[in-house]
Structure formats: C-alpha cells, structure tokens
Structure 1
Amino acid sequence: MERFVVLSGCSGGGKSTLLAELGRRGHAVVEEPGRRIVAEETLATGRALPWIDMAAFARRAVEVARRDRVLARAMPRPGYVFFDRGLIDAAAALDHSCGQAACGAALRAVAARRYNRQVFLTPPWPQIYASDEARRHGLDEAIAEYERLLKAYGALGYEPVVLPRVPVGQRADFVLRHLVARTDGV
C-alpha cells in the first residue's frame, strides 16, 4: 500500500525518534513491534526475547507486524501511516535466526504484503548508537542487521532511501519531501 511507509535500518540509528517527530506533525504512526514484544515478554517473564530465543522473538514480530497492517488499514484518517520497522524486517530476522537452510522462506511468504515502494533506512550512526534494556546487542550486530535489511528490501523490489545523519526535524523533512516528490511523479 502506497500510504504505508516503513522506517527501517540500523538499530540505534534514530528510527523511533524520527517516528515520534512524524507523529508530532500529525501523521499516523505504528511503533516498532520488537520493542513492544520485549516489553510484554519482560513483564510476563517470557522467553520470546532476542537474547533468549531469537526465532521465537522473530515469529512473534511477524505476527505483530501482520496485525499492525490490519489495524492500519482500518485507521480512519487519510494520509501516510509510518511504521517503525515492519513485516519485512520481522521476516528478515526470522530468516536470519533460522539459518541458511530456511534463508529467504519468511521473506518470500510476506513479499505480497506491500508497503510504499520507498523504504527509509537509518544508516549506522556510531555517535548516537546506544544499547539499553531492550537493545542488548552491540553496534557490530546492528550494522550486520542493517546490511541484511538493505539487501532484503532491494531483493523485494523496494527502493531503499538511506536517511542523512542530520537532526530529527531535517530527517522528517527529508522523508516527507521524498514522498511528495514520488507522488508528484518526480
């Protein structure tokens, strides 16, 4: 769906901050499935956490991202819906966690559920990267994830747009300009 726009890329690259800025500007937003899952699993002393059982976590992320799309379709307001990660991110994580034998199976399964052709990726940004209780992996792992996502989105026919390393307001302006330019046929 052209109105569903994904913010993807490197963990700790500023996606959630950008999503919050777009929300402040009046756009519909959907928070990252992974952070919601970590919060739920931590409260319930669950095991579907990336540092305990990555495959279970990724399967849950696929389910949550599917549900997010259904709920977003029902949103009454017109305009873009911005997703902090989405179904493709979750499927790429599931493929990665399952090893080479299953590589690509989850991505192929979700390929028909389209988002806007342009997907905005936050590049690795060591100066702002920080781990926390929900993000326990290091920058090297985040960079490897970024490379996998860049490849996955490209392989599925998306147009990855790497965001500049600029303050959040300028990043939001950049995203909105690119989307308007695309709809104007530029």
Structure 2
Amino acid sequence: MDRFVVISGCSGGGKSTLLNELARRGHAVVEEPGRRVVVDQRAAHGTALPWTDMEAFARRALEMALADHAARLDAIGWVFFDRGIIDAASALAQARCETLTANQFSPRPYNKTVFMTPPWPEIYQTDSERRHDFAAAVTEYQRLCHVYPQLGYDIRILPKASVSDRADFVIEALKRSGPAPVRG
C-alpha cells in the first residue's frame, strides 16, 4: 500500500489545509473520519462524539477509516488520507486502555512514511468539530508520534511553512522513497 499516504499529527496543525492543496494538485484525498463522524452524529443528535462517548466515537471513526481504505483499493496514484485506520485504532485503544500491536495491522495498510503536522499554536483553532484545547491536541500528537513507529512506520515531521511548501515537501519525500505511482 505504498500509494496510500497518511497525513497525521496534531489537531489544528494544518492537515486538512494540506490535503486541500494536494487535491488541488490533482491527487486523490480522503477526508478525516473523525470529523465526518462528528458531523453525522450532530446531525442525528447521536452520542458517539469525542466529548460524550470517546469509545463509541473512535469505534465509528475506525469503521469509517476501514471503509475509506477499502473503497480506494482500485485507485491509481497516490491517495492521501487525513488520518486513517491507525489514528482511529489508537484512539479506540486509548479509550479501552489497550495497546496496539504491529500484527494487528499486517500487512501494513499505508506507506511506511507517515507525515505528521507538529503542534503549531499560532494556527490552532477550535471549531464545532474540534472542541478540545491545544494541550489535548499536543497530548494526542505525542501519542501518535509514539504509536506509528511502534507499528513500523517512519515519521516525517512537516515543516511549519506555507501550505504550498508543505505539499512540495510531501511530494519530494515520496519521490525520493521510490517512483511515483502511475496516475490515471
């Protein structure tokens, strides 16, 4: 799954903005499952929300991430995921006080290189889908920076730079790691 690339990291660190830029450049992108779960739950007056029932929220995000992954198996070229299976599974494991293991994700569902947005307080904002504060976002980031390497992934921290520079950084890093997949 080298063509499936995860953009993860700190909430409010610019992941969605970067994914929008990659989409503008013609790459396939998948929106963050967690945000979609929140939108769905709020519309349905549901309780599977991170501030109400974290385990139910994470379970739904994991189901959505698995479905997103399966739906893109026939895609051609790089597919960029705003978070994904590992992020959701990590949140679910944390809610259940469990530990993730590499054999739970064999074969590896994503490219070995995971791009992480670092904590960036100057751009961090809460909104209707992101109610947690910056300290909670940093704690989440630290957890993910620990989890991904434990599962055999290499982390590349994205620079605090313009969205265009960040997109260039991602594409250049992927090109250096191997040939670009054929795009349809």
Identity of aligned residues (%): 54
- Give the structure 2 partner of residue 87 of structure 1: 85
Query: How far apart are the structure 2 equivalents of 1:141 and 1:151?
Result: 16
Tell me the SS of whatever aligns to 2:6: strand
**Structure 1 residue 74: Cα displacement:** 2.7
Amino acid across the alignment from 2:50:
P
Aligned partner of residue 168 in structure 2, secondary structure: helix
AA aligned to 1:156 is: L
Residue 137 and residue 82 in structure 1: after superposition, are their counterparts in 2 closer, same or farther (change >3 A)? same
Give the equivalent residue in structure 2 for 1:33: 33
- Could you say which residue in structure 2 is the equivalent of 1:16? 16
Give distance in 2, aligned partners of 1:83 and 1:117: 13
Partner of 1:103: 99
Q: TM-score, normalised by structure 2?
A: 0.94
| 1:144 equivalent in structure 2 | 139
Aligned residue pairs: how many?
179
Give the equivalent residue in structure 2 for 1:181: 176
CA contact (8 A) 1:6 1:86 kept: yes
Secondary structure of residue in 2 paired with 1:109: helix
CA distance in 1, matches of 2:72, 2:100: 26
Shift of 1:109: 2.8
Match runs of 1:45-64 below 5 Å: 45-64=45-64
In structure 1, the gaps of 5 or more residues are none
Q: Distance in 1 between matches of 2:108 and 2:93?
A: 17
Tell me the secondary structure at the aligned position of residue 72 of structure 2: helix
Aligned partner of residue 176 in structure 1, secondary structure: helix
Q: Judge conservation of contact 1:91–1:110 (CA < 8 Å) in 2.
A: no
Residue 154 of structure 2 corresponds to which residue in structure 1?
159
Shift of 1:79: 1.0
Partner secondary structure for residue 145 of structure 1: helix
Partners of 2:106 and 2:40 in 1: how far apart? 27
**1: CA distance, partners of 2:106 / 2:99:** 14
Cα offsets for 1:127-158 (capped at 9, x unmatched): 00001110000000000000110111000110
1:128 paired with 2:126, answer no
| CA-CA distance at 1:103 after TM superposition | 2.8
Q: Which runs of 5+ in 2 are unaligned?
A: 180-184
Alignment-mate amino acid for residue 36 of structure 2: R
1:179 aligns to what SS in structure 2? Answer: helix
Instruction: Work out the CA distance in 1 between the residues paired with 2:51 and 2:44.
Output: 16
State the AA in 2 paired with 1:166.
A
Contact preservation (8 Å) 1:87, 1:110 = no
Residue identity opposite 1:104 in structure 2: L
